[in-house]
Amino acid sequence: MQKKSKYNVAIAGATGAVGQEFLRVLEKRNFPIAELRLLASSRSTGKKMKFKGKEYPVTELKADSFKGIDIALFSAGGSRSKEFAPAAVKAGAVVVDNSSAFRMDPTVPLVVPEINPEDIKKHKGIIANPNCTTIIAGMAVWPIHKIAKVKRMVVATYQAVSGAGAKAMEELETQTKDVLSGKPVKKNVFKHQIAFNLFSHDSLVGPEGYSEEEIKVVRETRKIFHDDAILVSPTAVRVPVFRAHAEAIHLELERDISVAEAKKALQEMPGVKIVDQPEKNHFPMPIEVSGHDEVFVGRIRKDLGINNGLNLFVCGDQILKGAALNAVQIAEKLI
C-alpha cells in the first residue's frame, strides 16, 4: 500500500455492533483518516453516525461504493463480503474482512497481528479477520507455543450472547425479566431459553458431531500458527452473559514447562494481561474484560492428568479484540 499521511476508509456494515465498534476503535486509536465512508443495507440509508464529533451519513452498500477508498473494513456478513469485497479490491482498496467468507481461502492471509503480522504482506487485496473465539484463544496459546510447542489443545468456550447480535442481547434481557416475574419465556433468536440456562453453541452441527463454531477454531488455529499438526478439540457453549467470551484451555506440550515460565511468556505477549490471584480466587471474568482491549489470562496451572500439560482460563471482549480491534490493528500494520 502506498504510504500516505491519511487514508480513505470505508466501513461496510457500519450500523451493526462490530461496525459501530470500528468507529470507536478508529477514533480511540486516532487512525489517520482523510475520508470516512459508512456503508450498510438499504434499510439504514439516511441514518447518521458520529465520528470525532462529526455526523456522517450512511449510504447503501453497492459494488460502486469503493471508488477512491484505500482500506475497506467489512463486517456485513459472509454473503455480503463475497458479493462486494471483490468490487472493493477492483476499485483499489485493501479489504479487511470480519466474516468467515475468505478465512480458509489459501490465497487470503488470516491474521492476528500479535501472532503472524508477516502474513499481511502476502495479501492480494483481501485480509481475513479470524473468528472471535480463535483470536481470544490464540492470544493466550501463542506465547506458550513459542517456548514449548503445543501438540494438543482442548478448549471449552463460554460464549456471550452478543456474538449472535443485538437481538440476542435483547432476548437475554427480556427472558430474564420474564422468568423473574413469572411470565412465560418467548424464544425468537435462540431455539432454547438462554436466561438462567446454557446450551451447545447455536451454529449448525456437522456430520462429524462438531458445530461450525468449533470447526472454525480447529482450522483457523492451524492456519494462523502455520502448524497443521496441532490437534484441536473444541466444545463451544452459549452462556447467559451479555458481552465477552471465556475459554477453558487445556494444552499438551512437547516439553514440560513450569508455571513461572508460562507466566513470563504471557507477560511478554502484547495484548495479554495476567489476572491470576489464587489467594483471592480472582481470575478472568467477562464482566471485567468487557470494554478492554487486552485478553485476560488466569488459572495458569499444571495439568494433573497428563505429562507436559498446562491449563489456562481466558477471557476476551469478542467485539473488540475478537473483531473490531483486531481488524483495525491489521489496517495499522498495512499502513
CA distances from 90 to 69, 70, 103, 108, 327 (A): 11, 11, 19, 16, 20
Q: Which three cell numbers stand for residue 330?
A: 491489521
The catalytic position among 145, 201, 245, 315 is 245
Residues with Cβ < 8 Å from 279, sequence gap 6 or more?
none
Q: Which of 123, 132, 145, 315 is catalytic?
A: 132
Closest CA to 319 of 117, 132, 83: 132
Give me the helices (H) in 161-298, please. 166-180, 212-225, 259-267, 286-289
DSSP state of 309: E
d(CA 270, CA 80): 32
Per the annotation, the verdict on 250 as an active-site residue is: no
Residues near 119 by Cβ (< 8 Å), separated by ≥ 6? 109, 110, 111
Please choose, from the candidates 64, 213, 85, the residue with its C-alpha nearest in 3D space to the C-alpha of residue 137.
213
Tell me which amino acid residue 87 is. A
Write out the DSSP string of 17-56.
HHHHHHHHHHHHTT--EEEEEEEE-GGGTT-EEEETTEEE
* Pairing status of strand 71-74 against strand 150-159: unpaired
**Alpha-carbon gap, residue 136 to 28, rounded angstroms:** 21
Spell out the residues 6+ positions from residue 17 whose beta carbon is closer than 8 angstroms to its own. Answer: 162, 165, 166, 319
Question: Active-site residue 315, yes or no?
Answer: no
User: Which segments of the chain does DSSP mark as H helices, in order?
Assistant: 17-28, 78-90, 132-147, 166-180, 212-225, 259-267, 286-289, 325-334
Catalytic residues: 132, 245
